[in-house]
Amino acid sequence: MSIITRRTAIKIGGAAAALPLIGSRAFAAEKVRAAFVLIGTPDDNGWNYGHDLGRREMIEALGADKVETTVVTNVAEGPDSERVFRELAQQGHDIIFGTSFGYGDAMLKVAKQFPDVKFEWATGYQTAPNLSIYNARFHEGRSVLGTIAGAMSETGIGAYIGSFPIPEVVMGINAFHLAARKQNPDFITKVVYVNSWFDPPKEADAARALIDQGVDVITQHTDGPAALQVAEERGIIGGFGQGADMSAFAPKAHLTSIIDIWSPYYIKAVKSVIDGTWAEGSSWEGLAAGEVVIGPYNEKIPADVVAAAEAVRLGIIDGSVHPFAGPITDNEGTLRVEAGDVIDDGEFWGVDWYAQGVEA
Amino acid sequence: MQFRFEKRAEPSRTMLYVTPVAAVLLTMVLGAIIFTIIGYDGIGAVREIFFTPLTNSLKWQDLAVKAAPPLIIGGGLSIGYRANVWNIGAEGQYIVGGLAATGVALLTQDMSGWWILPLMGIAGIAGGMAYVAVPAFLRVRLKVNEILTTLMLTYVAVNILNYLVFGPWKSPTSFGQPQTVAFNDSQSLPYIIEGTIVQAGAPIAIIVALVAWFVMSRTMFGFQVTTVGAAPKAAAYAGFSANKTILAVLFISGGLAGLAGMLEAAGPFGRMVPQFPSNYGFTAIIVAFLGRLHPIGVLFAGVVLAITFVGGEVAQTTIALPNPAVGIFQAMMLFLLLAGDVLVRYRIVRAGATGGREAI
Amino acid sequence: MSATLLIAMLITMIGASTPILLAALGELVVEKSGVLNLGIEGMMLTGAVVGFAVTYTTGNPWLGITIAALAGAAVSMIFAFLTLSLSANQVATGLALTIFGTGFSALFGSEYTGKPLELFKSIFPASLAEDPYLRLIFGHSPLVYFSFFMVFAVWWFLSRTRAGLILRAVGENDVSAHSIGYSVIGIRYGAVAFGGAMAGVGGACFPLLLTPQWVEGLTAGRGWIALALVVFAAWRPLRLLAGAYLFGLIATMELYTQAAGGVFRIIAPEMWASLPYLATIGVLVIISLGRSANANAPACLGKPFEAGH
């Protein structure tokens, strides 16, 4: 992390006084300076942890003599983040990663004011000449989880806990459910939205409500181990880690996890700044590029189930398996995707329906 | 030797002005000591939180943007608090004001013209007033405690916001994410200083403070408010209607909170998003107290608080001070100010051994 | 709905209600003494992080709860000193206490984030605690039984003891209570400390009863619901118990009906979430309309007491 001394702080202030108020870069650093703006703290064992791990691995790969980083935590989405992005740009950072959807408007504004600084918006949907977007195909990991859930569930009922019905969650549910149905054609996925961005006790109660109604495999699209810990306590077949390996919280129930690995992208992006080859772009990689990784399988998963899960994982990597291959009927009985067709990347964000057998 | 408090016949003018300054200074000293003891750079924390935003001219615009909403809201609240009317749900009125303005923006999406922004402003004020109308009515008709009703309605406002942005107001072009369409140019506040991010909020905040000062110190209404608050019996004797005063101050505070909501929605946010509630309504309560419920005092308090917010972000990036430290500094400042209040109303008397008393 | 599912749901409901019930019981006593402490959320967060830290370090949840209570009481003394000894404004001081507790718990707790804990479960033998029916009686955490006990203890104290009568008198008319020789400030100090301790225990319920982890902001606004609950219950301890379970039921129903599938999806989730607050306003209105019930609201609520003036 960069530590700015009192002297440099004064230098920034002094140099800036001569510049227009919007400011521009007050001094040039020898190293490339990268900044990461997080919505929470790196010790959340989930989303923010993943980004911070990616940052550390990026430094390791490129060398601490080539790059130095700044991390800002607990940055609220909206105008508060705009101030942080501007501050980081003014401090002379070369590339700034904003790791939450709600930073977008602020990043687009600040990017316009600092054309020399590169901006990277995680989970974003709109680029600019100095703003790229990047995301990961988490739903590919959901297909692997769904395969395990479908094969292992004894009740045939799985569950998915989400915060709010946003497209990424809807598609995570569909990927999970479609894969589970390949293992068990009668599989049912119950969906509970906690309708809050952050409420671990409510997530835990949602898990209780689901398990009480026959669910024996549970997955969640919220940060933190709340649901997994309930799975452990109740002794159901299991649940999955989200964002990072969470087996410490639930050694018996933790079947496997989707691990976010951002380092391949962070290495590529920062290296392109060092080389002077950075360009506006949009990245959406998954299992194949190693940005979505399936964690270790719990010992209690039978070998044939591991094999099935691996087949899906390897199939997605080599392109022989598609998470959204038709025919897909929605849960109201309408045929949404013809046999032989798939939901492609362009159609992905427009999906607002659930596959047949999803109870939401 | 024993000390005790003796009530002053008149509140001390000197202490009135000295104690807030002393509270801020003491916060710096105590904060530096405490944070050094628990292992952080205590002096650096105080420098970055309290001074960098002032010495670094790049931060001035941020102060203007961050101070404006709590100032506008706090100005209204302080008038109400003078009358002993405790609207603590300004956050809810701010949200509803923002929503009302957004409603106008969505209706005028395809239009342009100078009249749209004023219309949004009127809608914002009306929204805030309408939202405080229920507690106001309950207070004057049924003597229902407005502290509780205004606070409860804040949480309801958050739910109204969520309902709208996840439902009927969701933009069709933002990939299913919960947000409205971006406001067009006629619906967005212009930047009033070329090359900065300062919009209409800051000057309006100053105007509000000046008008409030004039009204409170130079008009009959101001006298009436103060009398109803400080000496309800005398007010009744003088023929002032307590109920009319209560209604007036509640509508003023609600309307200003609504206006602040409109200015934030049409300014820094530029659209309505679930992250719109920014705690400005609660921050404004602190601002009102730090400013001793005096309009000009509120102006200073708002700037001081904005300094700590902006400085807290600087401290995070420069000396890696954890984000929660800012909250501790703010709480300490408020605690010390409230403790200092006693010196305004009382003098400390030393009961000496000789039986004589020495006033300090 | 089968009987076992109903029992399971009741158990979840009781769990969800317990922290709110405990914190609200404390606040009820505080308000009955004529003081309004808006710092519940801050005291709960303090109790939650301290309860986690002590239990995690010592492995002893009883000790965790005790220290959490002491921590809650300790931070409440900041409020008490400012508002009672120095007559500072209660609304502002309470809000400052919440800001303080939020910041303190986040800073102090950062080293405990991402660490697992064991839930504080029923101490009855498994044959009783895990029986599908009997667990409704024996399957709860000691914290739940403690909350029951405290409801009756507070009810008994306020309505059946001389000390409770004095406390109510202080909240009803501080000047008269003072003039007949009671220490208004002393009694209020005691009430605020009790309120802080109960909020501390309520906070400790989060890592020990609901979700065995510590994460910044773990209580997620429950302190404000506790505040609403006191009013909803019209300052009556037994009604507080019913009110806490009603609030818990509303929160739990939302989840159970979602899990049951589309059948119950008539009410928007935002409406569900707003219900406790709207109901509280409704109760306030009803209280104000009925003349006799109104007497139960402490007349001096939130007003500073200045001895001798």
Distance between CA atoms of residues A347 and B72, nearest Å: 45
- A9, A12, A101 ranked by CB distance to B177: nearest: A101
Interface test with chain A among C215, C216, C252, C263, by most A beta carbons within 10 Å: C215
The superfamily (CATH) of domain A138-261+291-359 is: Response regulator (3.40.50.2300)
| CB of A73 less than 8 A from some CB of B | yes
- pLDDT band at residue A91 under the 50/70/90 scheme: confident
Distance between CA atoms of residues C229 and B127, nearest Å: 28
Distance between CA atoms of residues A8 and A68, nearest Å: 16
Question: Which chain A residues are within 8 Å of C215, Cβ to Cβ?
Answer: 44, 200, 224
Cα dihedral B318, B320, B323, B324, rounded to 10, equals -130
- What are the residues of chain A with a beta carbon less than 8 Å away from any beta carbon of chain C? 40-41, 43-45, 49, 74, 159, 190-196, 198-206, 208-210, 212-213, 215, 224-226, 229-230, 233, 248-250, 359-360
| More confident: A111 or B226 | A111
Read off the pLDDT of each residue in A106-119 and give the average, rounded to a whole number: 94
Residue B231 tokens read as 């000496």
A67-72: strand order across its sheet: A67-72, A32-37, A95-98, A118-122, A131-136, A282-285
- For A56-102, give the DSSP string: HHHHHHH-TTTEEEEEE-SPPSSHHHHHHHHHHHHTT-SEEEE-SGG
Residues A241-274: tens digit of each pLDDT: 988 888 999 999 999 999 989 999 999 999 999 9
Residues B159-174: tens digit of each pLDDT: 999 999 988 999 888 7
Report whether pLDDT(A19) > 50. Answer: no
A190 vs chain C: nearest CA distance in angstroms? 6
Angle at C265 between CA C263 and CA C266, to 5 degrees: 110
Residues B99-156: tens digit of each pLDDT: 999 999 999 999 899 999 999 999 999 999 999 999 999 999 988 889 889 999 999 9
Read off the pLDDT of each residue in C114-118 and give the average, rounded to a whole number: 87
The lowest-confidence range among A219-228, A300-309, B118-127 is A219-228
Predicted confidence at residue B207, as pLDDT, reads 93
| CB of B181 less than 8 A from some CB of C | no
Report whether pLDDT(C129) > 90. Answer: no
Distance between CA atoms of residues C264 and C255, nearest Å: 11
Q: Do domains A6-136 and A138-261+291-359 have the same CATH topology?
A: yes
Q: Which chains touch B (3 or more CB pairs under 8 A)?
A: A, C
Closest B-chain CA to C96: B331
Question: Which chain C residues are within 8 Å of A212, Cβ to Cβ?
Answer: 5, 8-9, 12, 256, 259
Confirm or reject CATH 3.40.50.2300 for domain A6-136, answering yes or no: yes
Residues B236-254: tens digit of each pLDDT: 888 888 899 999 999 999 9
Report whether pLDDT(A10) > 50. Answer: no
Interface test with chain B among C227, C277, C280, C296, by most B beta carbons within 10 Å: C277
CB-based contact B155 C281, cutoff 8 Å: no
Round the average pLDDT of chain A to a whole number and report it: 88
Interface test with chain C among B37, B84, B96, B159, by most C beta carbons within 10 Å: B159
Confirm or reject CATH 1.10.3470 for domain C3-296, answering yes or no: yes
Contacts of B181 (CB under 8 A, 6+ apart): B106, B109, B171, B172, B173, B174, B271
Distance between CA atoms of residues A200 and A205, nearest Å: 9
Residues C5-30: tens digit of each pLDDT: 999 999 999 999 999 999 999 999 99
Distance between CA atoms of residues B137 and B310, nearest Å: 38
A135 vs chain B: nearest CA distance in angstroms? 14
Q: Where are chain C's structural domains?
A: 3-296
Three-state SS at A316: helix
Predicted confidence at residue A205, as pLDDT, reads 95
Residues C209-251: tens digit of each pLDDT: 999 999 988 999 899 999 989 988 989 999 999 999 999 998 8
Percentage, residues of chain A above pLDDT 90: 72
| CB of C306 less than 8 A from some CB of B | yes
Q: Which chains touch A (3 or more CB pairs under 8 A)?
A: B, C
Quote the DSSP letter at residue A129.
T
In angstroms, how far apart are the furthest CA atoms of chain A? 70
How many residues are present in chain C?
Answer: 309
Residue C170 tokens read as 């202080």
Residues 307 through 346 of chain A touching chain B, CB cutoff 8 Å: none
| CB of C217 less than 8 A from some CB of B | no
- pLDDT band at residue B358 under the 50/70/90 scheme: very low
- B138, B289, B323 ranked by CB distance to C89: nearest: B289
Locus of tokens 């919007």 = A22
- pLDDT band at residue B330 under the 50/70/90 scheme: very high
Report whether pLDDT(B355) > 60. Answer: no
Quote the DSSP letter at residue A144.
H
Report whether pLDDT(C270) > 50. Answer: yes
Report whether pLDDT(C187) > 70. Answer: yes
Report whether pLDDT(B57) > 90. Answer: no
Contact C191, C29 (CB under 8 A): yes
